Amino acid sequence: MKRDNFGSSFGVLAAAAGSAIGLGNIWKFPYITGKNGGAAFILVYLACIACVGIPVMLAEFALGRKAQKNTVGAFKELAPGKPWYLSGGLSVLTAFIILSFYAIIAGWVFAYMFRAGSGELMSVSAGNLESYFGGVISNSKEPMLWTLLIISLTASIVLFGVKKGIEKCSKILMPILFVILVALMIRSVTLDGASKGLEFLFKPDFSKLTKEGVLEALGHSFYSLSLGMGIIMTYGSYVDKKENMMSLSLKVIIADTLIALMAGVVIFPAVFAYGFKPGQGPGLIFVTLPAVFKAMPYGGVFATLFFLLIAIAAITSTISLMEVVVACVSEQFNMNRKKAVALITVGLFLLSIPSNLSFGPWANVKIFGKNFFDFFDFITSNIFLPVGGILVCVFASFVFGVKNTITEITSDGIYKFKLKNLFVIGIKFVAPILIGIILLHSIGVFNLIGSDKINAKTLSVYGGFLLLPCILIYRYMVKRAEYAKKS
């Protein structure tokens, strides 16, 4: 069966940028920037994008395009007879789990968009907005219906395939997102007192930067670019051989970073202009911002537009997450797309139920001390994503081989790759080491050092996590060396 492909360069760019630009940019980036002191954090974030984002994105696009298959099929094709396909399986699992709770937050955004549009949100007094938000998310029925709506909406787009579904929709939605963002930016920077917010965003104060902040920037650069989970690899498999991968990757990275900064320019000048605090954490857009909009003339209109903006960003990301799973199930099991989408939609909704309930009746049901939502978020964002990222670096560098990866990036030599040497250093050493640091940090190894928490149990758990990949990589290197000697 002929595989669907993207129809135009702009289509690929809109879809890949649509995937990268998501809740991470408009919800998470501003609040972690606020928490970590503003401009200094942004500079570190930009450095992380350059060191980790560029090489890993290039490698993922290249591996996908070379194989022209879903992630499991791609690893099977490029390393036949070896267990690397498990790495593809990990990315499918990661995308599936992330989508099950990402859709919940997207659901809250939709709920807020309609409440802002109907005027209900603007009628809540500023002091009650926090408990109002708590009420919206802890209600056990309504958030589930919103989650179902998000998953179904995503499914109905993915169902139409790559060109007629994902590409068409991204080509319409991404320009709309940009126009709304520009309109909101103009509103925000023209408010009296906006300059303090701009100063917070763009005037670096390195004394505010902590070790935690640097690690958060590193982790977020990875998350924001949709790396380590097969999205870029899957989209890469639908890209034409003639497409210039370097310019495509750079454009996606620039768009993702620009939109995150623009979201900051929408949020912080308005927050400062009305005397609110920037470091509110995850509640920044659901609690602080509605209070800001309430204080603003025509605030209801701007609030509705703002939540519409996030809703668009979220949907173009959920379709990319779903495509990773749909491509794998339909191709590996030879199932038609309709059946695969239906099956995955049902599975996703079922998996989202415990996460949804963890904001209400199941708040006290814990796995390893975390409720379902936090547990799923933790294992995917903090463990599976960095592991997936390291595996991509190792695979592109040593298994498929860095030379072959470069040949694919340059479309068999059609395009010049001026920064080839930097790419080699980045993909072989810098990116895997930095991602390794994210992994060690997120599983708490750095907290153990010098703390009194070290005991036999924690050591064996953390040791197991660390040792296993080390043994696997070591075994692989030894085998490779033996093979090289023989031939």
Report, in Å, the least distance between residue 36 CB and ligand PFF: 17
- Contact mark string toward ligand PFF, 303..332, x via CB under 6 A: --------------x---------------
């995308």: which residue's tokens? 95
CA-to-CA dists, residue 24 to 20, 105, 260, angstroms: 8, 11, 8
Report, in Å, the least distance between residue 467 CB and ligand PFF: 26
Return the half-sphere exposure (C-beta side, CA atoms, 13 A cut-off) of residue 384: 23
Q: How many angstroms separate the CA atoms of 326 and 321, rounded?
A: 9
Does 104 sit near ligand PFF (CB under 6 A)? no
| 3-class secondary-structure state, position 153 | helix
Report, in Å, the least distance between residue 25 CB and ligand PFF: 6
The interface region with ligand PFF, picked from 15-23, 120-128, 137-145, 406-414 by CB under 6 A, is 15-23
Of 324-383, which residues contact ligand PFF (CB under 6 A)?
A: 381
Does 235 sit near ligand PFF (CB under 6 A)? no
Query: ∠65-67-69 over CA atoms, to 5°?
Result: 95
Q: Which is nearer to ligand PFF, 273 or 324 (by Cβ)?
A: 324
Angle of helix 299-332 versus helix 71-78 axis, rounded to 10: 40
Q: Please check whether residue 371 is in contact with residue 104, taking contact to mean a CB–CB distance below 8 angstroms.
A: no
Which residue from 16, 20, 42, 201 is in contact with ligand PFF, where contact means CB under 6 A? 20
Residue type, 422: L
Does 233 sit near ligand PFF (CB under 6 A)? no
Q: Which is nearer to ligand PFF, 352 or 381 (by Cβ)?
A: 381
Does 385 sit near ligand PFF (CB under 6 A)? yes
| 3-class secondary-structure state, position 32 | helix
Cβ neighbours around 312 below 10 Å, total: 23
Q: How many angstroms separate the CA atoms of 248 and 420, rounded?
A: 16
Q: What is the CA radius of gyration of the chain?
A: 22
Cβ neighbours around 258 below 10 Å, total: 15
DSSP strands (E only) in 51-184? none
- Which residues, including other chains, have CB under 8 Å from residue 417's CB and lie 6 or more apart? 246, 406, 409, 410, 423
DSSP class per residue in 252-296 = HHHHHHHHHHHHHHHHHHHHHHTT--S--GGGGTTTHHHHHHHHS
Report, in Å, the least distance between residue 231 CB and ligand PFF: 6
Q: Which is nearer to ligand PFF, 263 or 292 (by Cβ)?
A: 263
Which residue from 54, 62, 98, 111 is in contact with ligand PFF, where contact means CB under 6 A? 98
Q: Which is nearer to ligand PFF, 35 or 294 (by Cβ)?
A: 35
- Contact mark string toward ligand PFF, 408..427, x via CB under 6 A: --------------------
The closest alpha carbon to 98, from 232, 223, 247, 185, belongs to: 223
Of 213-232, which residues contact ligand PFF (CB under 6 A)?
A: 223-224, 226, 229
The interface region with ligand PFF, picked from 16-24, 121-129, 367-375, 444-452 by CB under 6 A, is 16-24
Q: Which is nearer to ligand PFF, 136 or 259 (by Cβ)?
A: 259
Residue type, 322: M
Report, in Å, the least distance between residue 93 CB and ligand PFF: 12
The interface region with ligand PFF, picked from 22-30, 198-206, 261-269, 474-482 by CB under 6 A, is 22-30
Which residue from 23, 267, 325, 387 is in contact with ligand PFF, where contact means CB under 6 A? 23
Q: Which is nearer to ligand PFF, 14 or 291 (by Cβ)?
A: 14
Dihedral sign, CA of 411, 170, 384, 96?
negative
Token pair of 143 as six digits: 């958030």
Does 22 sit near ligand PFF (CB under 6 A)? yes
Report, in Å, the least distance between residue 311 CB and ligand PFF: 13
Residue type, 108: W
Q: Which is nearer to ligand PFF, 291 or 319 (by Cβ)?
A: 319
Q: Which is nearer to ligand PFF, 264 or 300 (by Cβ)?
A: 264
DSSP class per residue in 393-443 = HHIIIIITTHHHHHHHHTTTTTS--TTHHHHHHIIIIIHHHHHHHHHHHHT
Which residue from 6, 11, 15, 24 is in contact with ligand PFF, where contact means CB under 6 A? 24
Q: Which is nearer to ligand PFF, 102 or 268 (by Cβ)?
A: 102
Does 36 sit near ligand PFF (CB under 6 A)? no
Give the nearest residue (CB) to ligand PFF.
24
Q: Which is nearer to ligand PFF, 215 or 385 (by Cβ)?
A: 385
Q: How many angstroms separate the CA atoms of 323 and 317, rounded?
A: 10
Q: Which is nearer to ligand PFF, 103 or 273 (by Cβ)?
A: 103
Q: Which is nearer to ligand PFF, 20 or 113 (by Cβ)?
A: 20
Where along the sequence are the contacts to ligand PFF (CB under 6 A)? 20, 22-25, 98, 102, 223-224, 226, 229, 317, 381, 385
